[in-house]
Amino acid sequence: MKRENQFIGQSGAFLDAVERASRAAPMSRPVLVIGERGTGKELIAERLHHLSTRWGEPLVVLNCAALPETLIEAELFGHEAGAFTGATKARAGKFEEADKGTLFLDELGNLSMAAQERLLRAVEYGEVTRIGSSRPIRVDVRIVAATNDDLPRMAERGEFRADLLDRLSFEVITLPPLRVREGDVGVLTDYFGRRMAAELEWHEWPGIAPHVQRQLDEYEWPGNVRELRNVIERAVYRWDNPAEPIGYVQFDPFDSPWKPFVPSHRKGDQGQSKSPPASGRNADAAPTAAAPLDLDAVDDLRGAVDAHERAIVEHALGKHRWNQRQTAKALGLTYDQLRHCIKKHGLMQEQDED
């Protein structure tokens, strides 16, 4: 497991989680790392290993969701030759590979009940038995496990062994999602942007335009830091004017007016009819960065309409590199109408200040 072990952020919630991992690292006890996808669970596992007394020994990784249930036990505990069809020779499992070191079990909630029972014995007694063998093997392994599942609730429903959960939860580190890490979106944006600009051999980092930074700050980031990195790096490499601040980002790389049409009878559509994707100016006139209005919260109709109009125009201008004629055409406006909108919302003044 070799990654860039970079912890970028300044929010209190994020720094508290990193500090807790640092304190737990020297303890040779199991640790559970909980967090949404993209929050950095793998990096925390690395930190726990490299700050422990086991830092010179192996850090072995197993993604419990990447293997079928029939193979997960063989992968964890190893097998003898002839133990099952295809087992032509004996093979050590991940526990034996991680002896004296750390075993990182990602997506722990995907383990079958049978694998959980064998894992409990390995954690409790420090020994594993290969499939097809009756001879236990002593191992000295520190377990770090990660998941985005609600393991206590799974235990209540009988989907996860409560005794195994008790054994693994000496320390539980819950990573905050990016949407609650105050100020970190800007810090991460600058970090990933500068790194991508250097990769592209730009002479300097032009930064992010204010209207784009507002979009980044207001986005919910369901994919967290991993998603932010993709969005920023994609925006930088697509930007063809390194002298100007990045003026457009695309959150959904699959968003396109030419998306393939999905027939209504396709499995999973449940009979709902679908219309072909919009094309021409209508598809461009409703950019995804203009968030839908919360109608129940609107108590100033004129202000809400103005705010939504400004977001749409600002987004379209950034998308078309502030080329006003292209932007007007995309929005289905005349050049004079677009100029009126720009003046009305003070957008040209903002651009000049950038």
pLDDT in tens, 103-112: 999 999 999 9
Measure the CA–CA gap between 315 and 248, rounded to whole angstroms.
Answer: 7
How far is C-alpha 126 from the chain's CA centre? Answer: 34
Q: What is the pLDDT of residue 273?
A: 43
**Could you tell me the residue ranges of all domains in the chain?**
12-176, 280-287+290-354
Q: Coil, strand or helix: which one is 79?
A: strand
| Percent over 70 (pLDDT), the chain | 86
Whether residue 1 contacts residue 59, with contact meaning beta carbons closer than 8 Å, is answered with yes
Whether residue 151 contacts residue 36, with contact meaning beta carbons closer than 8 Å, is answered with no
Q: What is the mean pLDDT of the chain?
A: 86
Q: What is the pLDDT of residue 279?
A: 37
Q: What is the pLDDT of residue 217?
A: 94
Work out the average pLDDT over 312-328. 81
Measure the CA–CA gap between 336 and 184, rounded to whole angstroms.
Answer: 39
Give the Cα-Cα-Cα angle 263, 222, 195 (nearest 5 degrees): 110
- The class level of CATH for 12-176 reads alpha beta
Residue 7, amino acid: F
Q: Give the count of beta carbons closer than 10 Å to the beta carbon of residue 314.
A: 26
* Residues facing 106 on adjacent strands: 63
Q: What is the pLDDT of residue 95?
A: 95
280-287+290-354 CATH fold: Arc Repressor Mutant, subunit A (1.10.10)
State both tokens at 240.
């063809």
The dihedrals phi and psi of 339, each to the nearest 5 degrees, come to -60, -40
Measure the CA–CA gap between 161 and 119, rounded to whole angstroms.
Answer: 10
Q: Which residue has the tokens 């219309």?
A: 275
Binning pLDDT at 50, 70 and 90, where does residue 73 land? Answer: confident
Helix/strand/coil percent split, the chain, to 5: 45, 10, 45
Binning pLDDT at 50, 70 and 90, where does residue 327 land? Answer: confident
pLDDT of residue 256 exceeding 90, the answer is no
Q: What is the pLDDT of residue 351?
A: 56
Q: What is the DSSP letter of 275?
A: P
Residue 270, amino acid: Q
